[in-house]
Structures are given as C-alpha cells and as structure tokens.
Amino acid sequence: MERVITYIDGFNLYFGIRSNGWRRYYWLDLQKFSIALLKPSQQLEHVKYFTSRVSSTPSDPDQDKRQNTYLEAIGTLPQTSVFFGHYLSKPVQCRACGAKWQKQEEKMTDVNIAMELLVDAHEDRFDTALMISADSDLTGPVLKVRSLFPKKRVVIAFPPNRVSERLKKEANGWFRISEAALRQNQLPDPVVKPDGIQLQKPAKWI
C-alpha cells in the first residue's frame, strides 16, 4: 500500500469553506476526511493540521471558544497532530482617507508545513504527500521534495474556491475538494473525550 501523510493548511481550508457559506461543515473529522480523499491503493499514515490560535474580538467574542472546542475535538483523533503558528498585528493605513487600523496576519503556517514536509520526506515517512492548500508560497517546498526525493509524489487538494496555478504546475497532481467530501466526514455531535467530557458542535456552525 502507498503511504500517505496529509498536510492541512487549516485557515486556507477554513476560508475556502466559509466563502461558500458552508459553516455547517466546520466540524470536520480530519482523519475520515483525509481517508475519503485517498485511492484504494493508498493508506493514511498521519494527518498534520496547521493553524494559529485566534482571539476574541468585539464583533465575535466567542470565536476563540469555538476554535478551542474544535481543537479539543480533533485532539481525540489518534492519527492527527496539530502544529501552531501565530498571529501578528500589523499597522495599516488607508492611502485615500488616512485612517489607521491593526491588521492580523497569520505567520509560520507555511514554514511549519514546509519543515514537516521535508523532514517526513527525508525520514521516508510517506510515498505521497497530500497537501490541502492553495497557498502558492508552498511551491518552493513542493519543488524541493520533488528534486531531492524523485520517487515521492506531492498531490494538491484545493479547498473550495481556492486555487494556485503555480502549485498546479509543480505538483505531481491536483484536484478540488468536493462538497460531498466535507459533508460526509463530519465529527459526531457530541465528541466524547476519554475522560467523559462532551464537546458540542458550536451552535453558530449548525
């Protein structure tokens, strides 16, 4: 069987799902979802999920609680690991009116994905890397893996409404994630942790 590790760019997938108004699919079972994307000749070795912790805001005071609930839920999945970047506040000024505000930018996710991808390739932990992202900044790591490890494959799964022509060109293959793949691979509600605590799907996602 061909060994596969899935590398999920969490916010790229999230914003792709959100752009279609599919918040009901946020409660995604990353392990079942990854398996659903594989061919019969492939087996899932591990899921690596890359994200950053969000903070509450005046317009959405509970977004950090929803994220924490989801992270706890996917923490119960035996073949799934979470890797954290961080948000950096950046001052922005409108050229037209001079208004100033702070813009939040996610940092380190592409670096973390690149590092894990290259280390896993070097340690021979996969035959195919399935990357769920449309971030063109990941083209470099894809090219490096293909150059250093020509027997290994990197396949891109584009989130809804997301695409990168550079990744299309440089990967071994690509496809688009379907609504069915999201709909059919949701976590149970509730998720019951080993200690008996129940994690309910946030009401805003229903």
Give the amino acid at 26: Y
pLDDT tens figures, 3-62: 999 999 999 999 999 999 999 999 999 999 999 999 999 999 999 999 999 888 888 899
Query: What are the structural domains of the chain?
Result: 2-205 (3.40.50.1010)
Supply φ then ψ for residue 81, to 5 degrees: -125, 145
Find the Cα–Cα–Cα–Cα dihedral 114, 116, 120, 121, rounded to 10°: 0
**Per residue in 140-186, pLDDT tens?**
999 999 999 999 999 999 999 999 999 999 999 999 999 999 999 99
Question: What's the pLDDT tens digit per position in 79-97?
Answer: 999 999 755 555 556 666 7
Residue 115 CA to residue 104 CA, distance in Å, equals 23
Nearest to 132 by CA among 18, 2, 15: 15
Which pLDDT does position 172 carry in this prediction? 98
Radius of gyration of the chain (CA): 18
pTM of the model: 0.90
